[in-house]
Structure 1
Amino acid sequence: MSLMDISKIFSLLQPKEEDEDNEQCQALNNAVGADDATLLSELLSQESYRGSINARSGWGVPVTPLRSAAALGHLRCLQLLLEHGAEIDSLDVKAQTPLFTAVSGKHLDCVVALLKAGADPNGSQYNNCSPVLTAAREGDVDVLRELLRFGAEVDAKPRVPEWASNATTCRGALYISAVYGHLGGFKLLLLHGANPDYNCTDEKVLARIKQPKTVLEVCLQYGCGVEYIQLLIDFGADVFLPTLIIDKTTKQNEALILLLKERVCPKTLMSQTRLAIRRRLPFADKEPAIDILDVPLILRNYLKHETSEHI
C-alpha cells in the first residue's frame, strides 16, 4: 500500500469540514467525554444541538455522542442522549453498535440502560462478532446474563460469509467460555439453552466442516476441569460423540474418567425427566417459565440446576 493510499484512508476517516452539524456534534461529544451531564443537558435543550445528536465527529474514527457515552461508561450522559432521541443502534465504521462498545467496556449499567431502551441484544449483522461472544470471552457473567435476559441469541457464532465457513465459525459462546476458563458464563449459557454438543447448529456450515468438534471434545482438548464435563453431561450432551482413543499413554484425568463412567452408566430417571421438561419449555430464558410451574419449590430448583439429583 502506497503512502498516497494510506493518506486517502485517513482522509476518509476524518470528519468533513463542510458538515454543518460537525461543530455541534463535537460539542456534544466533548460534554460526554467530560461526563458533564449538566452541560450536555443545556446543549440538548437547543434545537440546533438536538439536530446533531446522531452526527459523528472526532478524528480517526468519527463517533456519535451515544457511542462515546457507551464506550466510556458515562451513564447519565447516555440516558440524556436516549431521552432526546439518539439513534440507539447506530453503527460506527467497524459496524459496532453502542451496546457492543458498552459490553466491551464492561459497563453493566450502560448495557442495561441500552437494552431497556430497545437496543438489539445481538448487535449488528454487519459485524463479525456480537455482544454475547464478547461477554463470553471476557467472562463477564453479569453482562452476559442481561444480554440473554433481553433475548440475545445464546448460540451466537462469528458472522462470516457461507463460502468462508470453517471450523472457526463453530466457535460460539459456549466454546469460548470453555477455552477461556469462564465456568460461570459456561453454566449460564447452558441454563439459557445453549446447544451442549455443537455450538453451531447451522447445517450448511456443518456440512462444510470435515470433523466438527463437540464442546466435550473441546473441553477435553483444552484440559477444562471436571466441572465443565459434569455440566455438559447434566445438560444432555451426547457422551458418545467425542471420538476418544484410549491407550496406555492416555492420561487418565478426572474429567476423562467421568466421561468414560457416563458412557456405561445410564442416566437416572430424575435426570432424564429434567432434560425432557427443560426441552419442552418454549422460552430461551427458562427460569421465569420454571418459576410458574405448579410443582414444589425443591423441584423447580432442581429444574434450574440449583439442587442436586439426590432430593
Structure 2
Amino acid sequence: MSIMDISKIFSLLQPKEDEEDGCLRLTQAIASDDDKLLAELLSEEQYRQCINSRSGWGIPGTPLRMAAAHGHLRCLEVLLSHGADVDSLDVKAQTPLFTAVSAKHLDCVAALLKAGADPNGSPYNNCSPVMTAAREGDVDILRELLQHGAEVDVRAKVPDWASNTTACRGPLYMSAVYGHLDCFRLLLLHGASPDYNCTEEKMLARVKQPKTVLEMCLKYGCGVEYTQLLIDFGANVFLPTVSTDKSTKQNESVILLLKERVCPKTLMSQTRLAIWKYLAMANKVCAIDCMDIPQVLKNYLKHIT
C-alpha cells in the first residue's frame, strides 16, 4: 500500500467540517453517559447524520465505539436503536464489539451481539474478540461470544509473506499460556481443535515447525489439568516431542502423556469422543442438553466431573 493510499484512507475517516459540531455534541453526551440527551439529539436529522462519523483524538472512532469503550450501555442502546452501524471500524480496524471485549464490558458485549455484531470482529484486524477474551481470562465474555457463533480456531488474517511461527497459535493456546483453565475448557467444549487450534492445512504448512497446544502446555508448565483436558478431547498424544531428561521425568503432565501413549483409552472415553465428533461443530453443548439421556451422561459428555 502506497503513502498516497494510506493518506486517502485517513482522509475518508475524518468527519467533514459540517459534521464536527454534531460529532462533538454526540460524544459529549456519551462521555457523560447522558442517554436522554443523546436520544434528544438523535431525534434531529443533523445529528443522525453524524451517528457513524469517526472523530476524536488518539484512535478516531464512531459514537458507538466510544459508548462501548466506556461501558455506557444505555447510550450504546440508544445509538443502536437509531441505526448506528454495529460493525463500524476505527482506524485500527477494530469494531465496537472488539472495544467492548477489550474493556471487559460484558453487558455491552451482550447488547452488541444481540444487535447482530459479528462475533469474530473485523477480518482486517489480526486479533479477534475471542482471542482477546481468552488471553484476558474473561470466561463470561468468551461464553457470550461462543454462544453467538464465534470461531474457536485461529484463521489466517495475514498475507502469505507475513506468516511466522505464531501464525497458528489461537485462543486455546492463549488461554493455556496465560493460565485461564476455565476459558481453556470452554473453548474445547465449543469445538476448538485440541492439536494445533488451527484446522487450515495451508496455514499450518506456512509454519516451519508448528507446535501443538499439548507441546506448548508442557513447555510452559501449564499443569496436568490442561494435559488431561487435551487428552480427553482427543488430542494426538504422539505429535508432541517429549524430552525425558531428569527434570521432565518428574513432571506430572509428561508422565500422564507417556502413560497415555502406551495405555489404550477406556471404552467410555472412546464413546464420548465418537459422540462428540458426530455432533455438529456449532452448538455442541446445546445439542448434548437436548439428548434424551440421563443427566449424569450429559455431564460426562460435557466433561463435567
* SS of structure 2 residue aligned to 1:21: helix
Which among 135, 138, 149 is matched to residue 136 of structure 2?
138
Deviations 1:235-266 (A, max 9, x none): 11111111223234544211111111111111
1:160 alignment counterpart: 158
Which among 211, 214, 219 is matched to residue 213 of structure 1?
211
Q: Within 2, Cα distance between the matches of 1:283 and 1:179?
A: 25
Residues 129 and 157 in structure 1, CA contact (< 8 A), matched pair in contact too: no
2:76 corresponds to which letter in structure 1? L
Q: Within 2, Cα distance between the matches of 1:294 and 1:16?
A: 57
1:270 corresponds to which letter in structure 2? M
Which among 64, 69, 72 is matched to residue 66 of structure 1?
64
Q: Residue 293 of structure 1: CA displacement?
A: 1.1
Q: Within 2, Cα distance between the matches of 1:289 and 1:88?
A: 29
Instruction: Provide closer, same or farther for how the CA distance between residues 295 and 51 of structure 1 changes in structure 2, counting only shifts above 3 A.
Output: same
Q: Post-superposition, which runs of at least 4 consecutive aligned residues in structure 1 deviate over 3 A?
A: 12-18, 247-251
2:257 alignment counterpart: 259
Q: Residue 17 of structure 1: CA displacement?
A: 7.6
Q: Residue 14 of structure 1: CA displacement?
A: 11
Residues 132 and 144 in structure 1, CA contact (< 8 A), matched pair in contact too: yes
Instruction: Provide closer, same or farther for how the CA distance between residues 209 and 61 of structure 1 changes in structure 2, counting only shifts above 3 A.
Output: closer
Residues 31 and 37 in structure 1, CA contact (< 8 A), matched pair in contact too: yes
Q: Residue 44 of structure 1: CA displacement?
A: 1.2
Instruction: Provide closer, same or farther for how the CA distance between residues 199 and 17 of structure 1 changes in structure 2, counting only shifts above 3 A.
Output: closer
Determine whether 1:173 maps to 2:192: no
Q: Within 2, Cα distance between the matches of 1:244 and 1:156?
A: 25
Q: Within 2, Cα distance between the matches of 1:188 and 1:124?
A: 23
2:96 alignment counterpart: 98
Q: Within 2, Cα distance between the matches of 1:198 and 1:149?
A: 22
Instruction: Provide closer, same or farther for how the CA distance between residues 291 and 48 of structure 1 changes in structure 2, counting only shifts above 3 A.
Output: same
1:156 corresponds to which letter in structure 2? V
Which among 31, 43, 52 is matched to residue 33 of structure 1?
31
Instruction: Provide closer, same or farther for how the CA distance between residues 18 and 163 of structure 1 changes in structure 2, counting only shifts above 3 A.
Output: closer
Which among 276, 279, 293 is matched to residue 277 of structure 2?
279
Gaps of 5+ in 2: none
Q: Residue 112 of structure 1: CA displacement?
A: 0.3
Deviates more, 1:231-240 or 1:249-258: 249-258
Give 1:159-308 correspondences, 5 Å limit: 159-248=157-246, 250-307=248-305
The Cα RMSD (Å) is 1.9
2:43 alignment counterpart: 45
2:166 corresponds to which letter in structure 1? T
1:125 alignment counterpart: 123
